[in-house]
Structure 1
Amino acid sequence: MKLTNTSMNKFALPCAIALLSCAAYSGLFSMPLWIGGVIDSYDISSTLAGYMGSTQLFASVIAALLAASRIDKFGLTHVIASGLAVIVAANFISATTDNTILLFAGRGISGFGEGLLLASLNNAISRTDTPDKYFAISQTSIALFGILLFAATPHSITQFGVSGVFIMVVITASIGFLALLIFNFSSIEAIKCAIAPTAVNTKRYLLPLLSLGVLFIGCQGAWAYMERMGVEKSLSIQEISFFLIIGQLLSLAAPFSATRFAAKFGRKMSITMGLIISGSAVLLASQKIANESFFVAAGIFQFGTLFIVTSFYGFLAAIDSTGSSVTAAPAYLSFGSALGPAAMAGILRVEGYPELGFVIIVIYIIAVALLYAFSFDDNYVTSSK
């Protein structure tokens, strides 16, 4: 049984998904901004800042795994509310402290809240009859949020320092509570999904989930240091933010473009196309070529990322009708994302950004190999109508 597009949820559910998506991904999207900010404000190394980002993402992994096995017990509404509350509290701590240890703790707590919210959001979407559509709505909402975030960041950082970034996350998560008023999530809690993957499911869907995790080692590793790559090319924070905004504008077209591309060529090819776009952006940003290359990189990187995520979530929802793999997906995504900044920080201790770029490309190739090693029925290839 799936949630259908009745008149009651025709507008309420998309609006709720949009609000929760912005809150769930606020920490992830703001990471390159606050990583650069804490390096400057706290006078810490790029390596330590990268480990701080990884702390946030590892906490997200733990929370997503816990949520995936407990949503039926506690209910979607309670898990969503808990995730939002934790994000608000953690980022308030991060915005008001000048202690590095407390900042570390704040990032970890924020990640835990994000993991709860991501898992419950994916779980809710997997219960609908058109998950591709709602994943596209989710990713488009995130792109819009990114535009607002990068537009407001230069002024916010000027006024409040790095605390301004955390304050914006607090505001975003607080607004997210409106989703619980707009849509009654208890109405879909009766629609059962196999939240905890069985041993059979875990084995069957392990390769695509591992592919997603490996993919985001590279993807989040690149995103965490995207701002620093721009600085390395002698660009100002205003220039970097401007072109990241352009990238967010372009990425608005990515989710529904991915859905259309998958319908014609299949989800695996759609994921691969997203990786090609993302990989091109990484090389343009990281290599010692014309400074203008960063503008192109910033313009297409987020497009590629949202193209990948929309395609991958739709792929998982299609191959596993129980919803277990797509509910567990945030844990794998977050685990890969957590390893990304830490791994790239380790590389930057001995190498530069050009070498980092090539490492990310190798990671992408490994992710594609894992994806294509997974075999599935032909009727899973095309996108949901």
Structure 2
Amino acid sequence: MVRIESKRGMFALMMAHCAGMLDLVALPIWVGTLIAYYQFDPQEAGGLATLFLIGAAGASIFFAPRFNRVHVKLAAVIGFALAALSFVIAGMNTSFPVLAGLHFIGGLAAGTALSVTHGTMGHAINPHRVFGFAGLAIGIFGVIFLGGTPGAIQQFGGQSMFYVMAGVMLLATLACLLFFPKPTKPVPFDNFDQIKHLPPLGKPVWFCMVGVALLAMTQAMTLSFYERIGLERGFSRDMVTMALVIYGIVTIFPAPLAALLQNKVSVTAIIAFGPIFQAIFALLTTQTHHYSVFAFAGPMMAFTILFVHTFAFGLLARLDPTGRAVAGTPAMLMVGAAVAPFISGTIVKFIGFEAIGYACCIIVAVQVYLFSQTRKAVLAGETNIPVAKLATSDRRPAI
């Protein structure tokens, strides 16, 4: 039996995380290709990406509360297989209505698989560490994807983007079929009636979950038009591609760094104040006309979300040991990211790229409030986690 902490189990979860979180890496190329090669306007291109994310969010919202009642390996395998099929068919079509339907179906399938993947991670001995390694995997994947896909699209056409994404989903399908692991940590109930009548999630959990959703929304609003912003600023396609490669390289570091710092920094302080950097980098990305600033700020947006979310994931796993909260990770990320491309596309269509940065600042202010409420509840002892477990390495309270 494959366990989460085994090499095979970690490999399957890392592959599944990369495929399920494909949008985190692919959004700038995804939206940019739909505009450049399919001749959709920014609103339409953003809308197609939004449909995929809405499907993923809807699937996660449905399956997260039922995580302990489904066959997780079967759900992961079927989900990624259907997502791969959806992208293959999308590569054969150019009609907006057909692509819209396929994006939604693909999102439903990928969201189902990702939901059970994250729920399984939550039942590891150390969920924070496992999620950190998954973040490292998506960073390496980002370098490969962002470094190779633009060239393939230029050589073979826009449809090749969908075939590349289908290939990613297919690899995840095979990895899950062969090595998807069993939970390591025992689930804290022993009969179906207990599973069926679990207590509702507390307010600190919900504050944190909504905060993560807005974290993803801010990221996606900027990232989905990162490529187009660069081209509109007059940077060459090679320069923009290099910025995307830097973006991919930067994403390698935040999750493993967060795993190393797990017991050395205040978890609640990271989630409460980390999002402020999102606002700073969003403004820099959308306002600058200097390539060096553009190539720095975009990747640092990714660094921020991956670093902060790793801590949030570990905290949620401890706030809710049943695994329902972390199984809802795709819902948090996708609900936030789902509306982002459409909102950004609308803002760009009627106002301009600069307005995206201002909108992100407003969303970050709400994030800081929500995460601060979770922090306040933890420090006040209103959760089932002892404050000492969230302390810094010298055991002072997490402040």
TM-score over 0.5 (shorter chain): yes
Match runs of 1:1-385 below 5 Å: 9-185=5-181, 187-188=182-183, 191-192=186-187, 198=198, 200-272=200-272, 274-374=274-374, 375-376=377-378, 377=381, 378-382=387-391
Higher helix share: 1
Residue identity over aligned pairs, in percent, reads 22
Question: Which AA in structure 2 matches 1:114?
Answer: A
TM-score, scaled relative to structure 1: 0.91
Aligned residues: 378
Q: Is the 8 A contact 2:139 2:253 kept in 1?
A: no
Structure 1 residues 319, 380: closer, same or farther in 2, change over 3 A? farther
Distance of aligned partners of 1:4 and 1:35 in 2 relative to their CA distance in 1, 3 Å threshold: closer
- Following the alignment from structure 2 to structure 1, what is the Cα–Cα distance between the partners of residues 109 and 197? 22
Instruction: Label 1:252 to 1:15 Cα distance change in 2 as closer, same or farther (>3 A).
Output: same
Which moved further from structure 2: 25-34 or 167-176?
Answer: 25-34
Q: Distance in 1 between matches of 2:232 and 2:78?
A: 39
Deviations 1:187-240 (A, max 9, x none): 339943688895531545211111111222211111111111111211223211
Determine if contact 2:83/2:105 at 8 Å carries over to the other structure. Answer: yes
The one-letter amino acid paired with 1:99 is S
- What is the Cα-based RMSD across aligned positions, in Å? 2.4
Aligned partners of 1:300 and 1:174: how far apart in 2? Answer: 30
Q: Secondary structure at the match of 1:50?
A: helix
Per the TM alignment, residue 309 of structure 1 is displaced from its structure 2 partner at its CA by 2.0
Alignment CA distance shift 1:132-1:331 (3 Å):
same
Deviation at 1:350, TM superposition (A): 2.5
Q: Secondary structure of 2:235's partner?
A: coil
Separation in structure 2 between the aligned mates of residue 240 and residue 197 of structure 1, nearest angstrom: 51
User: Which stretch of structure 1 is more off in the superposition, 281-290 or 86-95?
Assistant: 281-290
C-alpha separation between the residues in 1 aligned to 2:129 and 2:392? 10
TM-score after normalising by structure 2: 0.88
With over 3 angstroms needed to count, the CA separation of the structure-2 counterparts of 1:271 and 1:302, relative to structure 1, is same
- Given that 2:50 and 2:342 are in contact with CA atoms closer than 8 Å, whether structure 1 keeps it comes out as yes
Structure 1, unpaired ranges of 5+: none
How many angstroms does 1:278 deviate by?
3.1
Distance 1:58 1:328, change over 3 A: same
What residue ranges of structure 2 are gaps of 5+ in the alignment?
190-194, 382-386, 394-399
2:148 match: secondary structure:
helix
| Contact 1:316 1:325 survives alignment (8 Å) | yes
**SS state at 2:219 partner:** helix
Mapped partners of 1:118, 1:263: distance in 2:
27
